Amino acid sequence: MKPRLIVTVVLAFTLSLGACKKKPPEDVLPSPLPAGEAGEVTAVRAEVPQHVQDMATNFGRVFFDFDSADLTDPGRDALRDNAGIMGTYADVKVEIQGHADDRGTTEYNLALGQRRADAVYKYLVAQGVAPGRLTAVSFGEERPLDRSNTEIAWAQNRRAEFRITWASSNVQGTTE
């Protein structure tokens, strides 16, 4: 009888954790906006400081070659621009999100996404961005920009992008 009670208690606890999931923030700032969607987030943008809107709009994604976490020349150019923007806005923090295409195992792609995020992190720090303003995470293959199985789609999915937050608010913006 005791093992059943333990299983029941563990199951009830597990289910209660799922019911207590934190609600995602409603005022996420997607940017740059796809054409035709600007009106859909007008209310959200009204709460976001103008400098954060500008930063989210101008922050560039960084793309990588197949099976590589090495920064390309265009990637370095985008990151130099991003570091310059961060230098202008001292209250802004950035989460660097590493991504991979869907070729390879989930574990491999998570590790590759992390290496990509870490490469971006190191480059931004070398450009003078304070390490405390940056975090690096990996989403591996879980958040593709393009779900097709073409070389063009895979190239779009091999990237690092950025989620922007600012000190005066818990609201978060993103370039996603």
CB 56 within 8 A of CB 173: yes
What's the distance, CA 47 to chain centroid? 21
- Structural domains of the chain in order of their starting residue, each with its CATH number: 27-174 (3.30.1330.60)
Residue 132 bridge partners (DSSP): none
Q: How many CB atoms lie within 10 A of CB 155?
A: 16
* Parallel/antiparallel/unpaired status of strands 159-166 and 134-140: unpaired
Q: For each of the chain's 176 residues, which pLDDT tens digit applies?
A: 455 544 444 444 444 444 443 333 333 333 333 333 334 433 444 477 777 877 777 788 999 999 999 999 999 988 998 898 888 888 889 999 999 999 999 999 999 999 999 999 999 999 999 999 999 999 999 999 999 999 999 999 999 999 988 765 444 444 44
Q: Tell me the torsion sign for CA atoms 11, 15, 16, 22.
A: positive
Cα-Cα-Cα-Cα dihedral of 132, 115, 32, 30, to 10°? -70
CB 135 within 8 A of CB 96: yes
With a threshold of 0.75, does the pTM exceed it? Answer: no
Position 4, amino acid = R
CB 105 within 8 A of CB 121: no
CB 59 within 8 A of CB 164: yes
